């Protein structure tokens, strides 16, 4: 068993506000510690820059904290797990990705105790990076820019840990095609 690596494919005609809201919920809900979390956003160009801006704006509004404060996201399960998740941010950066939002070293209402790692957004993550190929199981969302629907589907189908996937488009034909071409689950 190897975990999960779930993708969302965003076509240029998608409602980017809906996509950004969904990326926040699917990527950072339960601090990303769930098997159905989306950890890769495949952006069919030219939407990546606009989408990253919208996601970054939403990340800045998330409340991180313990359950007493009604947060949007809490801590990770253990110190060792937090450190492992954080190591993937280092791996992605070393492999050439851009760390757009860095959740390491987050200040949570002066709480020194706790296994805190804030939402992290990576851009231009190489598909050869361990940050792309391995399950992170934490609040790290990787953006991979692709040139076409076909390239996105190929990446989704070539992954060995896809539990689920999603497509964002206003084209019903593309959505139906996606439904029949995807080999995930």
Give the E-state strand segments of the chain in sequence order. Answer: 6-10, 38-44, 98-101, 120-123, 140-146, 165-168
Res 2: pLDDT: 58
Q: Has residue 39 been placed in a domain? A: yes
Predicted TM-score (pTM) of the model is 0.95
Res 159: pLDDT: 83
Question: What distance lies between CA 159 and its chain's CA centroid?
Answer: 15
- What residue numbers bound the domain in which 169 lies? 6-181
Domain count for the chain: 1
Nearest to 147 by CA among 50, 49, 44: 44
Res 67: pLDDT: 83
Q: Has residue 1 been placed in a domain? A: no
Q: Which residues of the chain have pLDDT under 70?
A: 1-2
Q: What is the pLDDT of residues 7-33, one digit of tens each?
A: 999 999 999 999 999 999 999 999 999
22: CATH: 3.40.309.10
Q: Has residue 115 been placed in a domain? A: yes
Res 1: pLDDT: 45
- Residue 157, Cβ density class (10 Å: 0-12 exposed, 13-18 middle, ≥19 buried): middle
Q: How far apart are CA 85 and CA 141, in angstroms?
A: 11
Active centre residues (catalytic): 35
Q: Has residue 155 been placed in a domain? A: yes
Q: Has residue 136 been placed in a domain? A: yes
Q: Has residue 163 been placed in a domain? A: yes
Res 184: pLDDT: 87
């Amino acid at each position: 068993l190897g975990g999960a690596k779930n993708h969302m494919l965003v076509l240029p005609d998608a409602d980017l506000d809906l996509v950004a809201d969904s990326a926040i919920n699917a990527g950072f809900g339960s601090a990303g510690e769930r098997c159905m979390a989306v950890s890769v956003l495949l952006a069919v160009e030219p939407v990546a820059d606009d989408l990253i801006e919208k996601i970054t704006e939403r990340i800045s509004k998330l409340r991180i904290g313990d359950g007493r404060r009604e947060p949007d996201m809490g801590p990770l399960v253990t110190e060792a797990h937090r450190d492992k998740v954080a190591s993937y941010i280092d791996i992605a950066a070393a492999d050439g990705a851009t760390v757009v939002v860095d959740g390491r070293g987050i200040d949570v209402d002066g709480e020194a105790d706790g296994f805190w790692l804030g939402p992290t957004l990576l851009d231009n993550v190489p598909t050869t990076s361990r940050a792309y190929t391995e399950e992170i199981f934490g609040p790290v969302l990787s953006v991979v820019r692709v040139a076409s629907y076909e390239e996105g589907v190929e990446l989704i189908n070539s992954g060995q840990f896809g539990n689920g996937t999603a497509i964002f488009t206003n084209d019903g034909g593309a959505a139906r095609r996606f439904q029949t071409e995807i080999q995930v689950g």
